[in-house]
Each structure stands twice: as C-alpha cells, then as structure tokens.
Amino acid sequence: MDFEKQWRDGVARVSASFLLLSEPELARVQALCSMLMEQKQALQALAAPADPASHCADCGGACCVAGKYHFTAVDLLVYLASGEPLLTPLFGNGLCPYLGESGCLTKPGYRPFNCITFNCEIIEDLLSEQEVSRFYQLERELRASYGEIRAIFPGRSMDGALLEGPPLSR
C-alpha cells in the first residue's frame, strides 16, 4: 500500500472540505476542536502520574504497531482548525508512522482517539479506581465530541481513518 499517497490524498480531501465551511460552521468546528484538544489533554494529565512514557519505552511501544490506521479525518481537522503545522508521518518505520525516536510525534491534544484513550494494563493498574472511572467518563465525552464534529460535514465524509487498512479477511 502506498501510505504516503493515501496520506497526501486524505490531507487534500479533508483540507478541501475544511475550506468550504461557512463562517458559522468554521467557528463551530474551531470551538469543538479546541474542546477536543482540552479533553485529550485532560486524559493525558489523568494518566501522567502512572508515567506512561517510561512504561511505553520499556515495551517498545508494542501497541503502536498498527497506529497508522488511527489518525482520522477529525484528527486532521484539529490541526487545520488550530493552525498547527501538520506532522510528517514516518511511513516504513515498522511501527506507527507517528512514532519517532523520542516518542509520539503528536502533542497529546492532537493524538488520535485510540492513542489518547488507550491505557495498557500496566498503566491502568497504577491508577486509582476513581482515576480510572474519571478516565472512562472523559473518554465518553471525547467520543461525543468526535461525533459532533463529524455531524457538521455532509454524509459520512469525516468518518474513519485517513489511511486505508489492509482488506479484512473472512
């Protein structure tokens, strides 16, 4: 699969849709994207006391192997709405293309839903019951925010991953 071409095509498609937004729609998308970033940062902050970075470094980011399929059109909209320069994926690194030598190439507020809401058992076991409960409440709120953003665009144009995955086997 030519992920670089898929990436360029996906960026062009989402950027074109973003540029077609009316002023009220643009303001709504920007507000929702800002809220989405705050929610993601809150999730990251909640997990931070468990020191996820060191645990991820210990296992080599095993959960990041299939990460290329987690970056969605909505995740790209967050970059566009905030004016943040878009990351350059590292296709061909054998892991997630958004993972560099020093860790994730994306700031917590820009990370895909699956990446910011996944805590392995090691991390989750280090959180209190109250922290775990709060984490999953924030995850539900984040999921709802993704849905609100997608609903602004016609049809299902902002659904799914920016890159196509391998065909599903039967």
Q: What is the pLDDT along the chain (170 residues), one digit of tens a residue?
A: 789 999 999 999 999 999 999 999 999 999 999 999 999 999 999 888 877 666 666 666 667 666 678 899 999 999 999 999 999 999 887 778 888 887 788 999 999 998 888 877 878 888 889 999 999 999 999 999 999 999 999 888 899 888 876 555 54
Structure tokens given for 92:
């061909």
SS3 103: strand
In whole angstroms, what is the distance from residue 167 CA to residue 154 CA? 26
Structure tokens given for 11:
């960026």
Beta bridge partners of 103: 100
Q: Is the pTM of this model over 0.85?
A: yes
Q: Enter the DSSP assignment of 100.
A: E
CA angle 113, 117, 121 (to 5 degrees): 145
Torsion angle in degrees (nearest 10) through CA of 50, 55, 57, 59:
-160
In whole angstroms, what is the distance from residue 76 CA to residue 80 CA? 6
Q: What Rg value do the Cα atoms of the chain yield, rounded? A: 16
SS3 92: coil
SS3 145: helix
